[in-house]
Amino acid sequence: MRFSLLLLSFLVLSGASAPRTKPKIDIKRGEQVYKALCWTCHGNYGRGDGPAAQYLARIPPDFTDARILGAKSDQQVLSELLEDVKGEGRGNHRTMIIGEVLRKEALVDAIAYLRTLSIPGKHVSIQAGRDIYNTFCWTCHGTKGDGQGPAAKNLVGVKPRNFTSRDFIVEGREEEIQRTIFEGAAKTFHGSPYMPEWKSALSRQQILDVMEYLKTFKKLKP
């Protein structure tokens, strides 16, 4: 924890002598702040399920629900956080020292990162889907989702799905894709003997997270 605080102090205080201009939002730095100071309560993906959450008087909010931050401005969220740190709010931050360690710019970066954890109208986490994909799926489907994973060359007949192809569409086929992941492709339309069932390893929520992450591969395609 001490190392994390020292690292953050360096990140946010370096360059303090530079001319003061309106700082740009740095979501990457916001992620570093979150992972150093916030995840233990708010969880790896902002769902309020961190290891310390069970000991808090108030359950941390689920930031994968876009309604939590909603139409609040960054300044409004920042003000509420700083009031809470001072013991004037209703949250769990009064014992934290974030106001002493971080400049407001770094806290605004963290708030910007929180906004990336949600998708309006949905209750999924692309970050969680990415980690699940990189654990269970990439060996066949590839790190780029193009079906060129290291195990693909050993598969005969049906090749892994290419998620970058224009033929792969998630919208309107959610139930079909959920069933394929949950029960395995051999029992669904695809008929591949190589796609196993994941119902013993993944929850329904995790499958939804993965499906949302699959959509990002088309955005990465040049």
Within this chain, domains 2-115 and 126-220 share the same CATH topology: yes
| pLDDT higher than threshold 50 for residue 156 | yes
- List own/partner pairs for 30-35 with CB under 8 A and 24 or more apart: 30/106, 30/108, 30/109, 30/110, 30/111, 30/112, 30/113, 30/114, 31/113, 32/7, 32/8, 33/8, 33/102, 33/106, 33/107, 33/109, 33/110, 33/113, 34/110, 34/113, 34/114
Residue 91 pLDDT grade (very low, low, confident, very high; cuts 50, 70, 90): low
CA atoms within 13 A on the CB side of 180: 19
Residue at 113: amino acid letter: Y
pLDDT tens per residue, range 192-218: 778 888 999 999 999 999 999 999 998
User: Sorting pLDDT into bands at 50, 70 and 90, what band is 58?
Assistant: confident
- Domain 2-115 CATH assignment equals 1.10.10: no
> pTM for this one?
0.75
Say which residue the tokens 């409004």 belong to. 76
Residues 6+ away with beta carbon under 8 Å from 7: 32, 36
Q: What mean pLDDT do residues 53-72 have?
A: 89
Please write the tens of the pLDDT for every residue from 94-151: 666 665 567 888 889 999 999 999 998 888 999 999 999 999 999 999 999 999 999 9
Domain extents in the chain: 2-115, 126-220
Determine contact, residues 109/30, Cβ cutoff 8 Å.
Answer: yes
Give the per-residue pLDDT at 37.
87
Looking at residue 15, what is its pLDDT? Answer: 44
Query: How much is the average pLDDT of 1-15?
Result: 49
Q: Which fold has domain 126-220?
A: Cytochrome Bc1 Complex; Chain D, domain 2 (1.10.760)
Model confidence at 79, pLDDT cuts 50, 70, 90, reads confident
